């Protein structure tokens, strides 16, 4: 059984069903049949604090993901989306903010599942994780 909890926080207009579909699609793409995932949308101050406290970076970020399960255990993870940052990125990239939120939900879920990517942006966009992410995003957005 897959359980997905979504906390929209200060962003009650965010597409809760679309975000849940994104998390479920990422899990299904990796054959995960048993998982508990939470996804929370946060504002810049909250994301800045999480980013500083957990990664030592001072500034808001778009997504933070925490795998809380051990090897061989059912998937358990928390994903935090920087909703304000997602809005800025969507504007910069010329995409709908809902698509960017889906992208970040998928990205964070893939991190919980153990996927990773290189740090330089140019390399990240060609990484296997990014390519997998974009396949899932396209699949989810086709259903909108």
Task: Name all domains of the chain by residue range, CATH numbers in brackets.
Answer: 2-142 (3.40.390.30)
pLDDT at residue 117, rounded to an integer: 87
Asked whether the beta carbons of 82 and 88 are under 8 A apart, the reply is: no
Q: Report, as an integer, the average pLDDT of 132-143.
A: 96
Q: Per-residue pLDDT tens for 65-90?
A: 999 999 999 999 999 999 999 999 99
pLDDT at residue 119, rounded to an integer: 77
Residue 63 CA to residue 105 CA, distance in Å, equals 8
Confidence band (pLDDT; 50, 70, 90) for 30? very high
pLDDT of 100 > 80? The answer is: yes
Q: Report, as an integer, the average pLDDT of 14-34.
A: 97
Asked whether the beta carbons of 104 and 86 are under 8 A apart, the reply is: yes
Ramachandran category for residue 109: left, alpha or beta (phi over 0 → left; psi -120 to 50 → alpha): alpha
Confidence band (pLDDT; 50, 70, 90) for 14? very high
pTM of model > 0.75: yes
Please provide the average confidence, as pLDDT, over all residues in the chain: 95
| 35 φ/ψ angles, rounded to the nearest 5 degrees | -160, 150
Closest CA to 111 of 37, 50, 46, 43: 37
pLDDT at residue 128, rounded to an integer: 93
Burial class (CB in 10 A: 0-12, 13-18, 19+), 31: exposed
End-to-end CA distance of the chain: 24
pLDDT at residue 13, rounded to an integer: 92
pLDDT of 120 > 80? The answer is: no
pLDDT at residue 123, rounded to an integer: 82
Q: Helix (H, G, I), strand (E, B), or coil: what is residue 37?
A: strand
pLDDT of 122 > 90? The answer is: no
Degrees (nearest 5) of the Cα angle 71, 129, 89? 120
């Amino acid at each position: 059984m897959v359980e997905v909890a979504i906390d929209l926080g200060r962003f009650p207009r965010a597409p809760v069903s679309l975000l849940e579909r994104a998390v479920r699609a990422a899990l299904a793409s990796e054959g995960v049949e048993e998982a508990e995932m939470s996804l929370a949308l946060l504002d810049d101050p909250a994301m800045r604090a999480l980013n500083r406290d957990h990664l030592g970076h001072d500034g808001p970020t778009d997504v933070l993901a925490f795998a809380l399960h051990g090897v061989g255990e059912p998937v358990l993870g928390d994903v935090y989306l920087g909703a304000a940052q997602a809005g800025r990125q969507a504007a910069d990239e010329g995409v709908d903010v809902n698509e960017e939120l889906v992208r970040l939900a998928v990205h964070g879920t893939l991190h919980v599942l153990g996927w990773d990517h290189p740090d330089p942006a140019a390399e990240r966009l060609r990484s296997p994780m990014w390519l997998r992410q974009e396949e899932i995003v396209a699949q989810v957005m086709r259903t909108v």
